[in-house]
A and B are shown apart, each in its own frame.
Chain A
């Protein structure tokens, strides 16, 4: 009887080992659409976008069949843990709070913070003497806010806004000299209008966005990391990025 139990547990252990070494032939990846230009639907209903194309390239590299799943944002992590899909590639920023629930791959993109000002303003944002006494607008609680607060709070005066719209109004009304805002937001709200321009170089902040997976699927995480590294180095990543962005978000 004892032997039987030992034999059975050995068999079980082997079976478990076999499960762990499971080949990922099919990966279900979740996106929250629309979040242009990262993931959105074409008029014919087909999913596309920067992250979607990156996911497809990754699956091709892994020789796996990919199923693209549409999931709304608030059910993302619960859905992953409930095994409705295997990975999230939906612009999920890596944070310590989320990292307690899911395993993140290495970051695969990070939108920079951009400096924007009125057309008539000429400023070197890296020159602390020139910035002295200037009024900088940021969105409260963003990585841009943290950056300015930590690095420039003695030099400039920081004004914190809840919405980007209010901040744009104050930049237009000359209450602010310059704003420091998530680049895509600045591009949409400021560069699309007359009278504003970008100054200086975009600054990369934060830990970036990673693929989120279940903590138990360590082998998948390993494969994803390997594949992402390959795509980043062989030019596939850059080709996809250039299609959607004028600036560098590679990480």
Chain B
């Protein structure tokens, strides 16, 4: 941080340079955690969503059960079970898994990935099932195989239909990431709690952090608007 900013910040009571750096570290952690869990979640959700629409119940059944479980329970409980539960498994401390799960970041990432993947799967499934029959029949008439049909016809239009619902999921995920602070991760909320307890100033600490979450959310909304403009161009009125 440049000196003149540090000097200016240090004239404040609460929002000193140290405090702002603490918030910044929290912001970086939040963005990392949310970005990684959304990315991995999406990669997992696409094949799951396709398989979820398959008629064979032995394939779609387990996926239905998975989304049912993870959408049916609160994320906080999932995080508690994964973070504290794993540490209770006998002997886990002696395996290489412990190097991963000792840190709070990876249990949290796992919980977030499983949670967002379940929601994204259902969003995509809805979009896939809404594919007009005519398009599929036309593809079949052209002699396309199932895989080619999915790749060329179903997925491109499903992705467009899912876009708006998915932007909601992204925003929810940013806000849900606030619970990472209960397992000692110093994310934005964790930083705010530290600052609150240091200065006994709940309003200042939490309003500041609320504004930061809002800035993050607006950035995401802006990005999705650009994406929608591009991907949903065909839906615009002819001379709008």
Residues of A within 8 A of B (CB): 97, 140-141, 145-146, 159-162, 166, 169-170, 172-175
Q: How far is the CB of A231 from chain B (nearest CB, A)?
A: 33
Cβ-defined contact, A175 with B87, below 8 A? yes
Residues of B within 8 A of A (CB): 84, 87-88, 93, 98, 102, 104, 182, 184, 186, 190, 193-194, 196-198, 200
With contacts A159-B184, A160-B194, A161-B184 taken as known, whether A169 is within 8 angstroms of B102 at the C-beta atoms is no
Question: For A174, what are the chain B residues with a Cβ–Cβ distance below 8 Å?
Answer: 87, 93, 98, 102
Contact of B87 among A97, A161, A169 (CB under 8 A): A169
Q: How far is the CB of A150 from chain B (nearest CB, A)?
A: 11
With contacts A173-B87, A174-B87 taken as known, whether A140 is within 8 angstroms of B182 at the C-beta atoms is no
Q: Which of A97, A141, A145, A146 has the most CB of B within 10 A?
A: A141
User: DSSP class of A's interface residues: helix, strand, loop or mixed?
Assistant: mixed
Q: Which of B84, B93, B184, B186 has the most CB of A within 10 A?
A: B184
User: 5 closest Cβ contacts across the A-B interface?
Assistant: A173-B87, A141-B197, A159-B184, A174-B93, A140-B197
- Bound-state CA distance A225–B198 (Å) is 31
Question: For B88, what are the chain A residues with a Cβ–Cβ distance below 8 Å?
Answer: 173
- Bound-state CA distance A169–B107 (Å) is 15
Q: How far is the CB of A95 from chain B (nearest CB, A)?
A: 9
Q: How far is the CB of A144 from chain B (nearest CB, A)?
A: 12
With contacts A140-B197, A145-B197 taken as known, whether A173 is within 8 angstroms of B184 at the C-beta atoms is no
Cβ-defined contact, A169 with B84, below 8 A? yes
The chain A residue sitting closest to B92, CB to CB, is A173
